[in-house]
Amino acid sequence: MIKKIHILGIILASVLLVSCIEERLSADDTENASAYLQVRGNSLLSSTDPLDNEIKSLRILAFKKSTGQCVSNKLYSAELNDVINHPIDEGVYDFVFLANEPNLVSVLDGLNGINDYADLGNITYPEQAFRSDVSIPMFQELKNVEVLPDRGGARVDGGEIQSLVELQLERLGTRVDIVLEGEEDLTNYFKGITFYNLPEGITLMSASNASLGRSKNRKFTLTDDASYFTSVFPSLEQQSRGIVWVKKITRFILPFSNFSPEDDDSKAITLKVDMENRHSPSCHLKIQAKGVAGASKDNYTLPYNSALLLTGTIKSPLNLNIQVTPWGEENHNWQVGNFYLNVSDINVSITDFNGARITFSSNMPKVHVLPDLYVGEEQVVNMSTGKVFNDLVFTPVVNSPWFAQYGNPVHDGKFVKYETSRFSYIYDTESKTGSGYMDILLDEYNEIHNKTFRLVLSGEVDGEKKLQREIKVHTRQEGYRFDGIYWDGPYVGAFFRDDEKGERIITGQQPRLENTTDLSEWQVWIEKGDGDIVLSTTPSFDPFVGTATPGDAEDYPVRPNEFKQHESGSYVTGRGRVYFRVAWKRENPNPVIDNGLKQPRYAVVCLSYRRSTGWSPLSRIYIRQGEAADYLMTNGDNIQLGPLANKTRTEARKIAVFNLTTTKYKNGGENNYEDLSQIKSGVFVKYPSQAGVFFQWTSNAHPRRAYHPTKPVNGYSSTDDWDDIFVGARPMWDNGSGTDYAWNHKDISEVCPPGYHRPNDGYTNQIAYNGPYPNFERTLPLPVERSTHDGDPASNSNDQMYSEQIEKSEWRQSLALNPVAGELVLGNEAILDEQYPAERVGWKIYRYPTSPSFREDGEDENIKAVDGFYADGYFDRRPIQKQQIANGTNRYGVSVNTSQVAYRGCVFYNSATGASVFFPAGGRKELKGRLMYAGETGYYWSSSVSPIFPNSMYNAWAQESRRDLVGNVSTSISAGHLIRCFRDN
């Protein structure tokens, strides 16, 4: 509670400078009066600011003690250090002293018209009376004052006779000073502050103004109110905490705000820090009151006669941690006897994507989180704290080189430490004080919900004396959270544009160790890019992350967790749920290579986790900064295996980072389809994880029709917006000769923007066989696909080998370490190709399997790809939603049912260079437009026509990327696929 600080010094004038406004005296001056009251003050608060002590006027009102009738009402003008001799007849009175009353007609009329004591209750000072540019209104009441005859002085409430009554006026306003700190230079963003929900005024004789409205706001800007703001160089203490930017904002005078109950946050004054082009953080001004165990409440009042210092550290820049400090004696907000437990906040809100950081201090040797919590606002239903929140409770950990201290206090010299991966309390045995923090993060409670949990922070002495704080945590989860290690969806990559370096959130569920109650441990370190990449276990402080409208990731930079001594930014650890953030330390420093875009740079982060059987093989997360198209595989290197073994790579192209869409869809359009008016008029999506839109390979009536990526959810498109089949001669992308083909379809169907093209998969002016043909049967009506090869394909005289045609394939040479011939069949069976050109010892297609047992690199893999989620500032900030379709299967993605939909997918990478590029699994549109395999597989068109297999229509080659198989397929040109463009040069 903020202690009332009396004003001990108001020295007032001995000479009357203005006449009486309202006079009810038996004499007009002191010489004719039979008595008078002599009043004077001493010094004010410890403030050296003369404006705080300024007195411009003093009204003295006297009421007969016996009747309450007003017998004296006089307004004086005075200077500091003067004495006022107020004439009045001898008698017993109740006095009211009003300093610096508002110079407003409504107030003056009310004060001048007072007839008895009860009339004071009708006087209201409006909000505008409390400003920095006017003297602060003040008040004091002295009851039962006996004025003695013959100017003999006065006796206050039966006390000793005083010749001079010392006034102790109290201000009716609150002074607010603010110090804002930043861990980055916020000069270009900070524009001012705004107070919201100010009371409309104060009632003169009441300590509460709860009945008055709270509709007033005050905005202060650097431009219009420059005198309030001062830039300060950080002190050594601030620099030690990583503070690089400090702004002092001084002397806001506000009307007091007092009401009951004190924890009614609807009446709280809100402070917002106004940031341009960033999220503007805000918080309620709150004081945590003293109390007894189990009875503490938040206090949103700002009592009168208080000077408050608000120290706020703008983190990320959201976490505005306001501390309210009154002038005068320090008050602990949780104190019993000689022990206290101070907590920075006891009411927080989180989503499943962010966290809340609470700091605390105590003089008790042990502070910890109790193993059980309560569910709901008032109910007493118990749940295990460890089942809801990540690693806050001490639990024994066995056989762990990193976490052996968790579950038991560690004695380190004069310090005793209680620590988990999300909690720490360090007690100094010499000073008998301690401090700590906890990061509150959801863990095993993994369901869509909106609930409140109440956990308990307990301070203890000798296991008997306890102080306990109940902390309300309002939690919200709007989507599905998946396993972070196995099949369900590990994060496999992260993406940043050239100028981006904000947080990317890597998260995933992890079960407890088998047959134990232990949380599984995990560790992450930088394999490539150390010095450029920073890792942190500090959770995101974006209050809207995890919802459909999160904040901009660039507003939330990543720094090592300052509360974890071993966390340097290149290595992080944790237990239970995997949750950490990753970012680049600066914008891309590489040179510009393409229309203002820079040469991308790459990094690799490794994740390992401990199961019951020991530590897992490494999982790698491939990180990219730069949106310019870039090579994955580069021309000029020597191909080691497959049909092109010992040949030089010549057809690799720079691959665009983004899928293709249209301007209307990119800006949020939701029509079923859109026809592009001209060739090369497609545009790139905003984020790599976004699917973009579907195109047919080509069609007669609508050669550039773009189809919505998720419509229809169930069933087929109507016949008026989907072309089922190309009618006429077989389409060919480039020019050639022959009457069986319709030539040069790139002139009507190319939608890649200028400078880019739809990549080929071999020939574009003739059929591209790309491997053995014919090599399998397709039997209808069942989708059975069976290889006809039982050994050497030469044994089948009807088969021809076209494996070396892939030397012309941009798709295969650009993505594959060792390009593979043939088709990847849409099932579990693959078209088989020779293992080595010189040895026909069986047939095998080398592709990189992305099942968990094959996550680690090998020596003979041809396609380097891994399947999972991609943290690009879009997918990692929004809830993963389920889209239910008619056949009972579920699709999972971000922003499902919209044109902005994003999915998991495959990261293709180059082990030697670290280069990487992501392809989302947007599925495809079947004949007649039915959406298939969204969230499971990505299909991408080439510009190469494939042979007509039995029972099939006109076909073209496409690239397929899915969880377990990656390769090229032949598919009907009437299907709808995604498009990934390659750079022309």
Which tokens go with 22?
């309202």
Q: Two tokens at 816? A: 């594959």
- pLDDT, tens digit, for every residue of 923-937? 999 877 888 899 989
* Residue pair 913/960 in contact by the 8 Å Cβ criterion: no
Note the pTM of the prediction, 2 decimals: 0.71
* Helix/strand/coil (H/E/C) assignment for every residue in 709-721: CCCCCCCCCCHHH
Q: What pLDDT score was predicted for residue 726? A: 67
pLDDT single digits (tens) 753-791: 999 999 999 999 999 988 876 554 444 343 333 444 433
- pLDDT for 375 equals 94
- The residue to which tokens 């004086």 are assigned: 76
The alpha helices in 120-266, defined as continuous H runs, are 236-240
CA neighbor of 500 nearest in space, from 559, 569, 553, 570: 553
| pLDDT of res. 314 | 72
Task: Give the phi and the psi of residue 697 in degrees, each rounded to 5.
Answer: -60, -45
Q: CB of 118 within 8 A of CB of 61?
A: no
Measured in degrees and rounded to the nearest 5, phi and psi for residue 266 equal -70, -20
Quickly tell me which residue has 């990540």 as its tokens: 390
What integer pLDDT is reported at residue 855 of this predicted model? 33
3-state secondary structure of 902: strand
Q: Tell me, what's the pLDDT at 324?
A: 39
Beta pairing, strands 306-315 & 173-182: parallel
Half-sphere exposure (Cβ direction) of 601: Cα atoms closer than 13 Å: 21
First to last CA, the chain: 70
Per-residue pLDDT reduced to its tens digit, 644-678: 999 999 999 999 999 999 999 999 999 999 999 99
Token output for 939: 């299909």
Cβ atoms 142, 275 nearer than 8 A: no
Per-position DSSP letters for 387-449, written without gaps between them: HHBSS-S-----S-TTTTTTTS-EEETTEEEEE-SSEEEEEETTTTEEEEEEEE-B-S--SSE
Which residue ranges of the chain lie beneath pLDDT 70? 1-49, 78-82, 287-297, 315-337, 395-408, 463-464, 484-489, 612, 719-720, 724-727, 773-800, 825-861, 886-888, 949-953, 963-964
Q: For residue 137, which of 109, 174, 102, 177 has the smallest C-alpha distance?
A: 102
Q: 716 is written with which tokens?
A: 């087929």
Tell me the two tokens of residue 837.
């050109």
